[in-house]
């Protein structure tokens, strides 16, 4: 699958308001970003140089950043959210410790539950911008929630999508396939289990993504089509893939096939200056997941910060060389 991400990752009513735009302006601009992507796709379709299969492969993925992307400084990689979205916002005061976890107390649990509700409202409000306009929604093929740093924000996203699904079902409209990509900048999740404690494990992140036992915060919430690893280096990818795969299998025992896997790497320390070396090493890690169709129903691969056109072109060439037309890479 070739996907064109709509560049509206940081778009939210809050960010537009900070720039002096009204709510009406924000809605118009966000919807226009989808229409511009669709216009680019239409021109490609009508250019006459692409085969039918290549035309069908061009998808528009609506890029939805985390709440942290609306903050200044941005908090995709630390998850330091101000109340009521988190325990406290980012501070430069050396005597006032930054933290992204609530205390393990009754009050802390209450505040954590409240933060999930507020984050769900944030994500649902943005989804509504696109879903409430039938023409815009029709142009979108996929929804990508990207660089999510906190397990409780994952739960909030699932709640928001669940609410959207119920609204769309009442209109006779289907929800798009969607995934959630989580961040691992140093090979670890940035979220702490408690203030000053250990980091949340990959298994705990997958639990937030996939658990469907009907208990607590997961009741009535849908599972994403895909779960993702983003914002990490190739050095950390192999162990993360193993942990994600093992954890996903344990939560997918009732299904014949697990969910899709989305990978986006940020190679801050380039192994080579040209794209093919990066793509070759990347593909060696990912191809096992592609070839084992019993684990993942599909795989999406790409890059993020500092990944340039040369790297993406080399990765696309690698995928085309290794994956046949009958593969589960969709």
How many Cβ atoms from other residues are within 10 Å of residue 184's Cβ? 24
Integer Cα distance of 228 and 222 in angstroms: 16
Taking only the tens place, the pLDDT of each residue in 104-160 is 999 999 999 999 999 999 999 999 999 999 999 999 999 999 999 999 999 999 999
Taking only the tens place, the pLDDT of each residue in 193-204 is 999 899 999 999
The model carries a pTM of 0.88
Taking only the tens place, the pLDDT of each residue in 1-47 is 455 555 567 888 988 998 899 999 999 999 999 999 999 988 888 87
Taking only the tens place, the pLDDT of each residue in 45-83 is 887 666 666 666 788 999 999 999 999 999 999 999 999
Element of type H or E holding 287: helix 275-291
Tokens of 61: 């993925």
302: which strand partners? 264
Average of pLDDT values for 175-191?
Answer: 93
227: which strand partners? 180, 261
DSSP string computed for 200-255: PPHHHHHHHHH--SS-GGGTTPPPPSEEEEES--HHHHHHHHHHHHHHHHHH-TTS
Tokens of 187: 């090979």
Tokens of 207: 């639990």
Domains and CATH numbers, the chain: 2-231 (3.20.20.330)
Residue-level length of the chain: 330
Query: Does residue 174 carry a pLDDT above 70?
Result: yes
Q: Answer whether 13's CB lies under 8 Å from 23's CB.
A: yes
Counting Cβ atoms within 10 Å, is residue 312 exposed (0-12), middle (13-18) or buried (19+)? middle
- Cis, peptide link before residue 84, omega less than 30° from 0: yes
Q: Answer whether 261's CB lies under 8 Å from 228's CB.
A: yes
Integer Cα distance of 313 and 319 in angstroms: 10
Closest alpha carbon to 136 in 36, 24, 69: 36
């Amino acid at each position: 699958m070739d996907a064109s991400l709509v560049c509206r990752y940081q778009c939210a009513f809050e960010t537009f308001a900070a720039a002096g735009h009204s709510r009406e302006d924000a809605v118009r601009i966000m919807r226009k970003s989808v229409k511009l992507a669709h216009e680019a796709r239409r021109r490609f379709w009508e250019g006459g140089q692409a085969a039918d299969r290549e035309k069908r492969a061009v998808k528009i993925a609506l890029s939805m950043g985390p709440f942290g992307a609306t903050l200044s400084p941005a908090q995709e990689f630390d998850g330091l959210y101000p109340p009521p979205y988190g325990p406290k916002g980012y501070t430069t005061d050396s005597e006032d410790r930054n933290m992204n976890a609530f205390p393990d107390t009754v009050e802390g649990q209450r505040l954590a539950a409240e933060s999930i509700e507020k984050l769900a409202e944030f994500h649902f409000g943005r989804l509504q911008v696109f879903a409430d306009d039938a023409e815009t929604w029709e142009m979108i093929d996929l929804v990508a929630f990207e660089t999510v740093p906190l397990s409780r924000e994952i739960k909030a996203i699932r709640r928001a999508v669940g609410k959207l699904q119920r609204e769309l079902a009442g209109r006779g409209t289907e929800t798009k396939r969607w995934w959630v990509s989580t961040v691992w900048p140093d090979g670890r999740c940035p979220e702490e289990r408690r203030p000053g404690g250990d980091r949340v494990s990959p298994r705990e992140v997958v639990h937030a993504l996939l658990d469907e036992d009907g208990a607590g915060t997961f009741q009535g919430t849908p599972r994403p089509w895909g779960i993702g690893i983003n914002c990490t280096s190739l050095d950390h990818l192999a162990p993360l893939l193993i942990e994600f795969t093992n954890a996903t299998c344990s939560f997918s025992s009732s299904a014949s096939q697990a969910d899709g896997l989305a990978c986006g790497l940020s190679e801050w320390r380039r192994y080579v200056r040209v794209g093919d070396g990066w793509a070759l090493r990347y593909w060696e890690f990912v191809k096992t997941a592609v070839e084992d169709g019993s684990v993942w129903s599909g795989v999406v691969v790409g890059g993020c910060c500092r990944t340039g056109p040369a790297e993406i072109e080399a990765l696309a060439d690698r995928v085309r060389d290794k994956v046949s037309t009958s593969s589960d890479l969709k």
